[in-house]
Amino acid sequence: MVEVRVHYGSIDRVHDQVLDNVVDLGLVCYPQRRHGLGIEPFRQERLMLVCHPQHPLAARPAVTMPDLAGHTLVAWNELHRSPFLRGVPRNHRHLFQPAHEFDQVELVKGFVRLGDSVAILPESTVAAEVAEGGLAAVPFTDGGDTEPLGVIYRRAKKLTPAMQTFIRELKESSPPQDSSLAGAGD
């Protein structure tokens, strides 16, 4: 029998819990290379501009960074780790200073639903709300950057067959991607 428990926490806390042997596996975005930690990337999430369906940007087929000028940005506090921000030209960085930051994506989505704010979130985190019509998700004209997702584990801990199967299933259910983080850590 396999017991699976799901706990939510900050990216740093999940990394620490795996290294401290509190949890067996961690599923995180932006997995960090740390001594003693193994990483198995399994998906890249496309980042989207998220807004209320009646927001002026919602009707556009795609947006550019300059389109965000004058709009209030709210953010998940992990946005700072995003490769998206590293690719923002210096003259556009002022557009990405959030008016509000939250430690949970659900809080960001709730704030955006109020109508005046925009956010940058992974496409899959808003798919249900977009399908229901509660939020709009607009791609960036360049296709947008992606957010890497990975399973992390302690290298010193033997992965059980169930853990190996879980990791394999995650990888097989996701589209192929860059494997530059595979096995990272030592």
The reported pLDDT for the residue numbered 182 is 42
The reported pLDDT for the residue numbered 181 is 40
The neighbour count for residue 68, using CB atoms within 10 Å, is 19
Nearest to 38 by CA among 162, 185, 161: 185
Give me 156's structure tokens: 């010193």
Question: Side chain identity at 28, as an amino acid letter?
Answer: V
The reported pLDDT for the residue numbered 180 is 40
The reported pLDDT for the residue numbered 127 is 93
Q: Which residues of the chain have pLDDT under 70?
A: 1-2, 78-88, 94-96, 143-144, 174-186
Contact 17, 9 (CB under 8 A): yes
The reported pLDDT for the residue numbered 178 is 44
Q: How far apart are CA 16 and CA 26, in angstroms?
A: 10
Q: How far apart are CA 10 and CA 71, in angstroms?
A: 27
The reported pLDDT for the residue numbered 24 is 92
Q: How far apart are CA 167 and CA 128, in angstroms?
A: 25
| Dihedral angle sign, alpha carbons of residues 34, 40, 44, 50 | negative
Domain ranges of the chain: 46-138
pTM exceeds 0.75, yes or no: no
Which of these CATH numbers, 3.40.1180.10, 3.40.190.10, 3.30.830.10, 2.60.40.650, describes 46-138? 3.40.190.10
The reported pLDDT for the residue numbered 55 is 96
